[in-house]
Every structure is written in C-alpha cells, then in structure tokens.
C-alpha cells in the first residue's frame, strides 16, 4: 500500500501530510483522517494503510504544522502513563492555539487538496478523527455540508464546548455520523444528552459507548489500547463509508 508524503498549501503556509491509497491506477473515494493529540506517527500510518486497503484514498495532515513538521515533539515508541504528563505539557499549548478559525481555514485547504488529487474519485468525501481529531472531523463536516457525506469520531470531545456550541455545530451538519466513545470519557447520562442533541438536529447517526474502554482505545502505541474496541471501530467505520461514498 503506497504512502506518499505531500505538502498542502494553506493560508498560513504549508501543512505536511501523508496519503495512503491502493496502488491500482484507479480513482478511489477520499477520506480525510485527523490524528489524535499526539499527532502523526507510525500507528497513524498503520491505520491509514488499513483503511486504504479497503479502497480509499486517505489523507492525514499534520494539524500542528505551524509549530513544525511531524512529529512536532519527540514521542516514545510506547506512550505509557508515566510519559503522558510531560508530553501533554508540550502539546497543550499547540492544541489551545489551534482555534476554531484555524481549524476551519485548514479544513478548507485539506478538502481542496484531497478532492483535487488525481487518485480521488469525484463525489462526496468522508472525514474521520481520533481524540481531538474527532472534534476537528465534526467541525470540518459541519462547515462543508453536501461535500462531506460521512463523519466518524472516536474517543473525541465532541460536546466539550457546551450545549450551545454543540447545537450550532450540529445545525449545519448533513453527513451521516458515527461516534464511538470511551467508557471513561462519557457517562450513559451524557450519551443520552448527546443523542438528544443529534436527534433534535435531525442528524442521521449512531453514537455509542464502547464497553470496557479508556480514552485512546484505538491507538496501539498507548496504554489505553483495546484490540476488541479497535475491531469494533472498523466494524462501524467501514460500513459507514461503504454506504455513503460512491465508487463509480
């Protein structure tokens, strides 16, 4: 499965990124994938390759490109609990500097780049994200109704900005949504409130707590990794993409 390093022009410079796609000389539906807060690293390349193997062109941008190319900080091979405080002390200023304005400006650039690739088929695209990337995915989909047909977020803080911000976010969303929450991130009561907001906005969605999971359950290089939950993630994501993205 080829992986290509690319540079995406943005209003603030150039975002480094990589793309994974089938090596068949054909055009494939496009998927924009947002990394978790730790950013681009081998596990993201593995996940992009896995998704590309199912017939998609997968673009993974370095959302912290304003602070340097990926990896923006040095990461251990395994991100254990003992390493997290020091890592987040360095990452949080970058996350906080990534304002909604920057998110939306970058999303415009990412989608323009993705849809212009010769390997990408015409038609709508999908967006998926992990951790903070789940929120970025939702914001991207809401800002591009009609162009984004599906959005999926896993262990992401989708409602972190409060009920009113969530209502505004969902008000323009036309994509079909799947949200997979960590058991340690969301109570059943909070899940019910989120589902009510999705229902009230008329969003076609599935939203569920993955049993026995901690925040970061999809990432095999962290202590939170849960193999069965990762399989569940693929079992939800792949059918979502299959029914929403055209292969013509």
Write down the pLDDT at residue 181. 97
Tokens 């199912």 belong to which residue?
54
> Which ranges in 157-219 belong to alpha helices (H)?
163-171, 188-200
Q: What is the SS3 assignment for 132?
A: helix
pLDDT tens digits, one per residue of 76-131: 999 999 999 999 999 999 999 999 999 999 999 999 999 999 999 999 999 999 99
Residue 16 and residue 7 in contact, taking contact as beta carbons nearer than 8 Å: yes
Between CA 102 and CA 61 the distance in angstroms is: 14
Mean pLDDT in residue range 131-140: 97
Write down the pLDDT at residue 179. 98
Residues in CB range of 239: below 8 A, 6 or more apart: none
DSSP 66: G
What architecture is the 3-244 domain classified under in CATH? Answer: 3-Layer(aba) Sandwich (3.40)
Mode of pairing for the β-strands spanning 125-130 and 148-154? parallel
pLDDT tens digits, one per residue of 2-52: 899 999 999 999 999 999 999 878 899 999 999 999 999 999 999 999 999
Write down the pLDDT at residue 247. 65
pLDDT tens digits, one per residue of 170-219: 999 999 999 999 999 999 999 999 999 999 999 999 999 999 999 999 99
Domain boundaries in the chain?
A: 3-244
Write down the pLDDT at residue 196. 95
């Amino acid at each position: 499965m080829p992986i290509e390093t690319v540079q995406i022009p943005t209003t603030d410079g150039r975002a480094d990124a990589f793309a994974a796609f089938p090596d068949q000389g054909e055009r494939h539906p496009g998927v924009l994938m947002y990394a978790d807060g730790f950013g681009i690293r081998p596990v993201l390349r593995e996940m992009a390759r896995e998704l590309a193997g199912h017939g998609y062109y997968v673009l993974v941008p370095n959302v912290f490109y304003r602070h340097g190319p990926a990896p923006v900080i040095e990461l251990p091979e395994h991100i254990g609990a003992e390493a997290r405080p020091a890592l987040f002390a360095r990452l949080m200023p970058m996350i906080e500097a990534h304002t909604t304005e920057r998110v939306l400006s970058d999303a415009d650039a990412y989608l323009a780049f993705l849809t212009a690739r010769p390997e990408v088929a015409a038609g709508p695209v999908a967006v998926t994200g992990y951790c903070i990337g789940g929120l970025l995915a939702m914001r991207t989909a809401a800002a591009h109704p009609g162009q984004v047909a599906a959005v999926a977020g896993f262990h992401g803080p989708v409602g972190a900005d409060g009920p009113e911000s969530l209502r505004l976010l969902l008000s323009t969303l036309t994509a079909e949504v799947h949200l997979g929450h960590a058991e340690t991130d969301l109570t059943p009561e909070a899940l019910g409130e989120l589902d009510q907001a999705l229902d009230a906005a008329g969003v076609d969605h599935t939203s569920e707590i993955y049993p026995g999971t901690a925040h970061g359950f999809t990432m095999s290089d962290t202590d939170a990794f849960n193999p069965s939950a990762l399989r569940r993630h693929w079992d939800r994501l792949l059918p979502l993409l299959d029914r929403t993205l055209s292969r013509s």
